[in-house]
Amino acid sequence: MAMLHTVNKSPSERNTLDSCLNHAKSGSSVLLFEDGIYAVVKGSAAAGRLKEAAGVSVYALGPDLKARGIDEDQVIDGVTVVDYAGFVDLVTRHENVQSWL
Amino acid sequence: MSETIKKFLYVNRKAPYGSIYALESLEVVLIGAAFDQDVSLAFVDDGVFQIAKGQKTNEIGMKNFSPTYSALGDYEVTKIYVEKESLEERGLTPDNLLHLTYEDEDDDYAEKDSIRFVSRAELSEIMDQQDVILSF
């Protein structure tokens, strides 16, 4: 069964997202939250790297997008925005969780 | 003792809610504004996210301190430098930022923009001209 990866650091301050994407296998999921959500902003350097991650489902936590003033229309295509209940669902739907800190 | 006015630059490089730096910087700027110095702010790297407009923090249980940036003009903090390259690398444009203004007392209190968009090279010149640089 598949892994859920979580990333909570800004892609432009740490290499956490890159390390996660380098290890995430096809079929796994990546949930971005806290400062991790900045990776989904259209036109950003990190969004380009996220799009190249083949076979990985990408999720972003809605409350963290809103807190940081990132509108849903600034989010790249292919990202599913979830709420806290959706975060819990993702955890239960995956066999294991790896938190990239 | 004669009063010397020094040039102070506060350099903000961190996103707003992932750490305490942004809020601490803002508090120090507001406290420092009482001392009649020549104060400027710079938003560089992830610091540009601090002044993103439309921040709504009710669902994350943290205080939204972004409205306070709009008060800087009243504290005579009227030079806010935003690095263009930092915005671009993060997929942001000037439209994504708060509209920060001040009233120019030397120009019949006309409302003017506080934010000045500068290149990396221009910002390094500005840094070079300071007496004191405080980093957050």
pLDDT along chain A (101 residues), means of 10: 94 97 97 98 96 94 98 96 98 98 96
What are the extents of the domains in chain B? 7-135
Closest residue in B to A75 (Cα) is B91
Worst-scoring range by mean pLDDT, A4-8, B2-6, B28-32?
A: B2-6
Angle at the Cα of B80 (from B20 to A75), degrees rounded to 5?
65
Q: Nearest by CB to A69, which of B18, B54, B60?
A: B54
Q: Nearest by CB to B49, which of A38, A42, A45?
A: A38
| Strand B7-12 to B110-113 pairing | unpaired
B80 pLDDT above the threshold of 90: yes
Please judge whether B16 and A68 are an interchain contact, meaning their C-beta atoms are less than 8 angstroms apart. yes
CA B106 to CA A41: how far, in whole Å?
Answer: 40
Span between the terminal Cα atoms of chain A, in Å? 23
The residue type of A42 is K
b or e along B25-51 (b: 16 or more beta carbons within 10 Å of the residue's beta carbon)? bbeebeebbeeebebbbbbbbbbbbbb
pLDDT of residue A1: 64
What would the mean pLDDT of B61-77 be, rounded to a whole number? 97
CATH architecture assigned to B7-135: 3-Layer(aba) Sandwich (3.40)
**Structure tokens, B18:** 């992932």
Span between the terminal Cα atoms of chain B, in Å? 31
DSSP 8-state secondary structure symbol assigned to residue B54: -
Please judge whether A66 and B89 are an interchain contact, meaning their C-beta atoms are less than 8 angstroms apart. no
B1 pLDDT above the threshold of 70: no
- Structural domains in chain A? 3-100 (3.40.1260.10)
